[in-house]
């Protein structure tokens, strides 16, 4: 187990007014000033109306509480993220359609530049078609392309699919600041340019996202991910499809999705990034799976010793030291022990001072991406 502060990487890199305690302090001071103003006006001139200042103070207090809660949770880190949650966002920019996809003679997988690339990445929304038999609505999928993105097809990019938690939406990773973190890692030479895909994996009628194919006639989320999302992205973007360059990750219930999908599809996915992971589908199986045998077949904590794996299947596990859910801690340590026993590359990180929040997920994202970069480099060297 490696404490996050010993890894030599910056944590908590997103610094924005919406997640700053200084913003909370400033709003609290403003509320106090408005209250003082209201009291003084009332005392000086009893007939003079003081309610505008009082109402303003109340509104500022509510805003301060909201920003304080967000500062703790880290759910919306940037103004761009706030606008995205309000439905104001950019479209993703596919470089081409499958019919116009270039076929370069010798495309090369993206590498860390010397010097690294400069600039900012782009993230926006794509609407991936959903076949009717999936029993899923068409929803927003967020896609990030890196700084210096090459649209010629000469450069192939590694791809990571990142899952949101429950309750959650596909925008969550980017509203929490993942775009800024990725830009920083890529432009400082800690991570090669990559493409990030964040689909909506909510299941109609289920209380939690678990990325399952219902055996009771419901949604087919796993098939959607494997047969719709992946092929669509690979048809519209220059993706390095070798498993060395394919990763899947998530936070909370999304970490369960990443583990279950990644372990059971290890022939396609080389690295799993599980932040605050669960080892069973929990409430996500309610109304989706029938019987304990089906639940066990989707429980990494149960099948970790017996499932067939394409080696190496690298797994990054992490949680905050203030984690209150015992299942998360037990899952992380159990999978760390059992996967190591199988000879797979595993890293377990505990983040000091944090709990089960988006703030912790974003703080852990640099370590997770650095782990993936090491796996890609190891695969290239072997």
- Say which range, 74-78, 222-226, 286-290, 361-365, has the weakest mean pLDDT: 74-78
319/64 Cα distance (integer angstroms) = 28
What mean pLDDT is reported for the chain? Answer: 89
Is 326 buried (19+), middle (13-18) or exposed (0-12) by CB count in 10 A?
A: exposed
264/81 Cα distance (integer angstroms) = 33
The pLDDT tens digits for 250-293 are 999 999 999 999 999 999 999 999 999 999 999 999 999 999 99
The per-residue pLDDT for 20 is 66
Is a pLDDT exceeding 90 seen at residue 32? Answer: no
Mean pLDDT (whole number) for 29-48: 65
The pLDDT tens digits for 157-169 are 999 999 999 999 9
The per-residue pLDDT for 221 is 98
245/380 Cα distance (integer angstroms) = 10
Percentage of the chain surpassing pLDDT 70? 84
- SS3 label, residue 344: coil
- Say which range, 86-100, 144-158, 161-175, 340-354, has the weakest mean pLDDT: 86-100
The per-residue pLDDT for 58 is 75
Which helix H or strand E contains 73, and what residues bound it? helix 51-73
Is a pLDDT exceeding 50 seen at residue 5? Answer: no
The per-residue pLDDT for 83 is 80
**What kind of architecture, by CATH, is found in domain 78-381?**
3-Layer(aba) Sandwich (3.40)
At a CB cut-off of 8 Å and minimum separation 6, what does 248 contact? 160, 161, 162, 163, 257, 258, 261, 262, 269, 271, 272, 273
Is a pLDDT exceeding 50 seen at residue 211? Answer: yes
CB atoms within 10 A of CB 86: 8
195 and 144 Cβ atoms separated by less than 8 Å: yes
For the stretch 126-131, contacts whose Cβ atoms lie closer than 8 Å and that sit 24 or more positions apart, written own/partner, are 126/91, 126/92, 126/94, 126/232, 126/236, 128/199, 128/228, 128/229, 128/232, 129/228, 129/232, 130/224, 130/228, 131/228
Residue 338, φ and ψ in degrees, nearest 5 = -75, -40
The pLDDT tens digits for 54-66 are 677 677 677 667 6
Mean pLDDT (whole number) for 176-187: 94
The pLDDT tens digits for 125-142 are 999 999 999 999 999 999
257/93 Cα distance (integer angstroms) = 26
> pTM of the prediction?
0.89
The per-residue pLDDT for 29 is 72
């Amino acid at each position: 187990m490696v404490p996050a502060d010993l890894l030599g990487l910056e944590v908590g890199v997103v610094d924005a007014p919406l997640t700053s305690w200084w913003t909370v302090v400033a709003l609290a001071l403003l509320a106090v000033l408005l209250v003082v103003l209201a009291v003084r006006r009332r005392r000086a001139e009893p007939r003079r109306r003081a309610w505008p200042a009082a109402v303003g103070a109340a509104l500022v207090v509510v805003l301060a509480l909201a920003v304080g809660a967000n500062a703790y949770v880290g759910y919306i880190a940037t103004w761009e993220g706030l606008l995205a949650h309000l439905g104001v966002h950019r479209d993703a920019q596919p470089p081409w359609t499958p019919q116009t996809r270039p076929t370069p003679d010798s495309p090369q997988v993206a590498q860390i530049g010397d010097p690294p690339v400069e600039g900012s990445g782009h993230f926006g929304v794509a609407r991936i078609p959903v076949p009717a038999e999936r029993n899923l609505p068409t929803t927003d999928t967020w896609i990030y392309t890196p700084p210096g993105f090459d649209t010629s097809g000469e450069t192939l990019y590694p791809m990571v699919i990142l899952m949101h938690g429950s309750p959650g939406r596909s925008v969550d990773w980017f509203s929490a600041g993942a775009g800024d973190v990725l830009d920083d890692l890529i432009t400082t030479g800690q991570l090669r340019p990559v493409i990030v895909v964040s689909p909506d994996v909510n299941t109609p009628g289920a209380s939690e996202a678990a990325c399952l194919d219902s055996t009771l006639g419901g949604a087919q989320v796993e098939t959607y991910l494997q047969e719709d999302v992946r092929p669509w992205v690979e048809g519209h973007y220059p993706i390095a499809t070798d498993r060395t360059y394919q990763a899947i990750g998530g936070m909370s219930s999304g970490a369960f999705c990443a583990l279950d999908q990644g372990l059971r599809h290890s022939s396609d996915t080389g690295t799993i990034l599980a932040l605050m992971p669960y080892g069973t589908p929990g409430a996500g199986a309610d109304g989706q799976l029938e019987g304990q045998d089906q639940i066990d077949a989707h429980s990494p904590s149960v099948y970790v010793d017996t499932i067939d794996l394409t080696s190496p299947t690298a797994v990054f596990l992490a949680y905050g030291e203030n984690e209150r859910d015992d299942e998360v801690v037990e899952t992380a340590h159990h999978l760390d022990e059992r996967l190591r026993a199988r000879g797979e590359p595993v890293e377990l990180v505990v983040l000091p001072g944090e709990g089960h929040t988006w703030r912790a997920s974003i703080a852990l994202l640099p370590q997770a991406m650095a782990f993936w970069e090491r796996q890609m480099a190891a695969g290239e060297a072997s």
